[in-house]
Structure formats: structure tokens, C-alpha cells
Homo-oligomer: A and B are copies of this chain.
Amino acid sequence: MKKRNRHSAQVYIDGVLTGDRVILSQAITLVESALSSDQMLAEEVMSAVLPNTGKSVRIGITGVPGVGKSTFIERFGQLVLEQGLKLAVLAVDPSSQSSRGSILGDKTRMEVLSMDKRAYIRPSPSGTTLGGVSARTREAMLLCEAAGFDVIFIETVGVGQSEIAVKGMVDFFLLLMLAGAGDELQGIKKGIIEMCDALIINKADGENREAAKRAKREYANALHLFPARENSWLPQVLTCSGLEGDGLESIWEMIETYKNKMISNGFFEANRAEQRVRWMHDHIGYLLESSFYQNEVIERSIQEELLEIKSGNVSAIKKARELVQIFMNQIRPE
């Protein structure tokens, strides 16, 4: 159990709404808590700040390890700050379960950003289930919005399930790639490309510049083969150098263009509405499991049941059904 200050709901609410970073961080820690009493408090805080959320641009950034995400975010983030905007960077890193958190502290990875008062960097929540991590990330994002941040980056690691979760909470999804890193067009999964709104060929600098241009053409051709999207956006392919800064302005302009188009065709709000629905479903699952595991009868018997499961003498799914039945019967006298 981490030691921390727990405030009244009003202290969190006022602190977040006035942009107090210390309180913001504590509020995020609160929503990450698994304690039932914290959850109630967190919900109260979330509901109170909700009218002050929704005004940021939410940008998901993904790419395989080694693609240069940290450097990209460090530079691209500075460009955002130069527009006079405040930036929050959140990370979703479900892969780092054993070590419970990022390897390199997120702040070390982004030295300049982390020193800048206009930027707020929140390291990955320590590993629980992905559903938990993504739900908490969504709440962290809303808290940052309520605290006045104009742009939110949500960084994910790897190409897989966490991207689906993040796609479910952002407005724009950037996929970083490298030129010439393997079977380009075949290697990357169609599913990921279908999710992203732009492909960025990173490290387009030095000797790599020509290869990046070629890759850009190839991807752009390939993207034309995909079916049209319901929002009628054709995913863009751009090159950039996170290290030297080239191409970052075009990326920002593209995101602005996207945002304006989506607002005018109604997709921006429709997408956010769908995301809220997903959020509710996620939270229902979370609450159901909390009620189950915090139920007294279940709490009393679960350890013994686990021993039986470990022995291998009973089927895990059969036992699961029995326990759920006990839970149901116990709250429903038949």
C-alpha cells in the first residue's frame, strides 16, 4: 500500500480545476487505486470535473520498440508548446508487468519536456489488467483536460491490444514506423493500419532520408487499397525526423486539418460518443468484478477454492461457474 495523502472530494475537484499539478497527480493516483473507498471518491471527483473535460485534442501515438517514440514525443511536444498550448503526456505500457512500471522513467526519456512548466508527464500506471490500465488512462486523460491541458498525447508500446484500448479514447491515432525495417507492406498488420489516422516514417534523416521517401510512396500506394472509412478520412503518410525536427510541423498541421474536418462532418463528436459508451461498458465489468471479489462469502471461500484449482482436480471453468452461482444466490435468497 503506497502511502499518500487522501483529500476530500472538494480538494481534488478544486485542485484539478485550478490546474494544481500536485493535486492533479494525486487525483490520478486516486483513480488508479483499487480500493473500494477510493473508487467511490474517484467517481465523485470524475463526475464533478466532467463538464470541464472534452476540450483537448487527444492524440494516440504508437509504434514498435526502437521506432523512436520518445524522441518523437520530446520534439513534437515542444512544437505543441510553441503553439502556446499546454500538453500532457500519458503512457500506457501493459507490457512491463513484472517490473511494474516503465524501465526508463518516462521523465528521463523526455528531458526537455519534463522540465517545461507547460507540459505534464505522467508515467505508466503500474501493471494490472489492461482493462484496468486503459480505464484508468481514460480517467487520467479527463483529469488532465479538466486541469486545462489543450493537447493530450497517449503513448502506447507495441502493436497490439493496448492500441485497441487507446484507439477507444483518442481523436487521432499516429503510427510511427521506420523505413526498411523488414517486410514493410506485409509486416505491419492490416488491423493496426486500419486503426491509425496517419503513418509517420520516423528517422527520415541523414542516409535514411531517401529510404524514408521511398517507404512513404509505398505506404501511400498501399493505403489507397484499403476500403474508405466512414469518416471519409484517407490516412496520410508523412516522413519526419524526431531527432532533427524535420517534418513535425506538417504533422501538426495535418492533425489540425483532421480535427476541423471531423468537427464539421460530425464524426468528431460521434466518435467521442462511442468512446463514452465503451467507457461505460469497461466500468461495468470493473464494478462487477469488484463486487464479486469483495463479497464476504467469496472472500471467505476463495482461498480454499484456489487450492483445489491448483491441484488440477477440478475444472477452472466449472469452479468459476460455481463461484459466480454462489455469489448470485447469496445476494438473491431463493
Is A181 close to B, CB under 8 A? yes
Q: Which residue of B lies closest to A327 (CB)?
A: B288
Majority secondary structure of chain A interface residues (helix, strand, loop or mixed): helix
Assess whether A188 is in contact with B65, with CB atoms less than 8 Å apart.
yes
In the assembled complex, which residues on chain B have CB atoms less than 8 Å from the CB atom of A288?
285, 288-289, 292, 324
Whether a CB of chain B sits under 8 angstroms from the CB of A115 is: no
Interchain CB contact (< 8 A) of A320 among B66, B189, B284? B284
**Contact between chains at A320 and B283 (CB < 8 Å):** yes
Tell me which of B46, B93, B161, B178 contacts A189 (CB under 8 A). Answer: B93
Q: B residues within 8 A CB of A195?
A: 97-98
A278 CB to closest chain B CB, in angstroms? 8
- Looking at the complex, which of A10-18, A211-219, A244-252, A305-313 is the stretch in contact with chain B? A305-313
Residues of chain B with a CB closer than 8 A to A310's CB:
273-274, 276-277
A277 in complex: contacting residue of B284, B289, B316, CB < 8 Å: B316
Do B95 and A189 have beta carbons less than 8 Å apart? Answer: yes
A164 part of interface (Cβ distance < 8 Å): yes
Contact with B along A256-281 (1 / 0, CB 8 A): 00000000000000001110110111
Count of chain A residues near B, Cβ 8 A? 81
Oligomeric state, in copies: 2
**Chain B's nearest CB lies how many Å from the CB of A129?**
8
Report the Cα distance A217→B281, complex, angstroms.
47
Q: Assess the B189–A159 pair: CB atoms within 8 A.
A: no
> A103, B191: Cβ atoms under 8 Å?
yes
Among the listed B66, B127, B192, B315, which residue makes an inter-chain contact with A46, where contact means beta carbons less than 8 Å apart? B315
Contact A316 B64, beta carbon cutoff 8 Å: no
A127 to B167, CA, bound (A): 15
**CA A178 to CA B161, docked complex, whole Å:** 22
Interface centre among A98, A158, A277 (most CB of B within 10 A): A158
Chain B residues, Cβ within 8 Å of A309 = 273, 276-277, 280
Asked if residues A157 and B157 are in contact (CB atoms below 8 Å), the reply is no
Q: Is A231 an interface residue (CB 8 A)?
A: no
26 intermolecular pairs with C-beta atoms under 8 Å apart: A43-B318, A43-B321, A66-B181, A66-B183, A66-B184, A66-B186, A68-B182, A94-B161, A95-B163, A95-B191, A98-B191, A103-B189, A158-B160, A159-B159, A160-B162, A160-B163, A276-B312, A277-B309, A277-B316, A284-B289, A284-B324, A285-B289, A287-B321, A287-B324, A332-B332, A333-B333
